[in-house]
Amino acid sequence: MLVARLHRVGELRLGREPVPAPGPGTSLVRVSAVGICGSDLHWWGEAGIGDAVLDHPLVLGHEGAGIIEDGPRRGERVAIDPAVPCGACRCCLEGHRNLCTDVVFAGHGGQDGLMREFVAWPSSRLHRLPDQLSDAEGAVLEPLGVAIHALDLGHLRIGGTAAVVGCGPIGLLLVQLLVSAGAVPVLAVDPLPHRRDAASRYGAAAAVDPAAPGALAALHELASGGVDTAFEIAGTDEAVQLAMAAARPGGRVVLAGIPGDDWTRFRASVARRKGLTIAMARRMNEVYPRAMSLAVRGQVDLGSLVTHRFPLAAAAEAFRLAAQRRGLKVMIEPGGSARQPAGRGCRSGMLP
């Protein structure tokens, strides 16, 4: 099978490797779609993320979908949950599987990910895709799950006000969730014009350039003195500080971005004087059923996020484009053109 491995900063090498043999409790999956995530870009551009560093060639990719090739579920289209928690630690037993300290996660640390033609993966972590969702949309269920988890941590009351600072794919999915949940207004912040345009299309009442004069004052005016919950999805200190500045006194800030240098810095006086509650988002909990239900009912649009599609053989080109922050979601299709239901699907190779 064809595999793309990261050997060092910016160096993805294609190679041929044996098809993995599934063991007890696992299934062989032909991978049909893998999204490039911001965390993948950290690995690609920095040879690590947070306190994890590249110490051997690694297959990246954790946003995936495919087709089961063996066993009683053969032929079933599935979304691949990249997290395999231990199921026995205190976090798992208390219902916080995303916090499992012994979790195995695709494309991270010592676990190869999905940017290959086949993967053997625990059958319990393979979620059957509804016929209404394409393979590419199945891959986007993972970032949608991250957005759902961030929303859960936001404790936003119905009719509350919210801001999303950072409108990459997860931020744009969060904008859609907030609109669907009845937040008014939903404000979006991003320095890139095409992302601000997308946020507006997805229902944001205003999309603001953080570098524009009076950006913060405009947010406060739109939200009558500050939002109830501000979500930071950018991974920069500037975005964290803007989220805290945008929140009202007594408000809540959810930090979901991943900083490149493993540090988050902000002015303590702002957070202290406002009495802000700060929540840290770690991936997602068990939310795939909710994510699929929202997508099938049309409450979130997954397909339009996918603006570029590449074969696995062009993985290096796909990463270079994704690193330039062009388009929205860049998708790699190891098995060729991914299935998409009639009348739906992903736009290909064009900026929104």
> What is the C-alpha radius of gyration for the chain, rounded to an integer number of angstroms?
20
pLDDT exceeds 70 at position 339: no
CA distance 299 to 40: 27
- Could you tell me the CATH superfamily of domain 144-280? NAD(P)-binding Rossmann-like Domain (3.40.50.720)
Does domain 2-142+285-333 fall under CATH 3.90.180.10? My reply is: yes
pLDDT of res. 346: 40
Query: Predicted confidence band at 216 (pLDDT cuts at 50, 70, 90)?
Result: confident
Q: What is the mean pLDDT of residues 273-296?
A: 93
pLDDT exceeds 50 at position 343: no
What is the pTM (predicted TM-score) of this model?
Answer: 0.91
Q: In this predicted model, which residue has the larger pLDDT, 147 or 352?
A: 147
pLDDT of res. 52: 86
Of the candidate ranges 14-18, 180-184, 210-214, the one whose mean pLDDT is the lowest: 210-214
Q: What residue segments make up the domains of the chain, in order of their start?
A: 2-142+285-333, 144-280
Q: What is the mean pLDDT of residues 163-188?
A: 96
Q: Decide if 27 contacts 123 (C-beta within 8 A).
A: yes
CA distance 40 to 180: 29
pLDDT of res. 342: 37
pLDDT of res. 129: 97
The DSSP letter of residue 99 is G
Please name the residue that has the structure tokens 């010592």. 110
Nearest to 306 by CA among 62, 130, 63, 136: 136
pLDDT exceeds 80 at position 215: yes
Report the percentage of the chain scoring pLDDT > 70.
95
pLDDT of res. 336: 60
Query: Predicted confidence band at 347 (pLDDT cuts at 50, 70, 90)?
Result: very low
Residue 256's φ and ψ, nearest 5 degrees, are -120, -10
* Cβ neighbour number for residue 20 with a 10 Å cutoff: 16
Tell me, rounded to whole angstroms, the distance of Cα 163 from its chain centroid.
Answer: 18
Residues 32-70 pLDDT 10s: 999 999 889 988 988 888 788 888 999 999 999 999 999
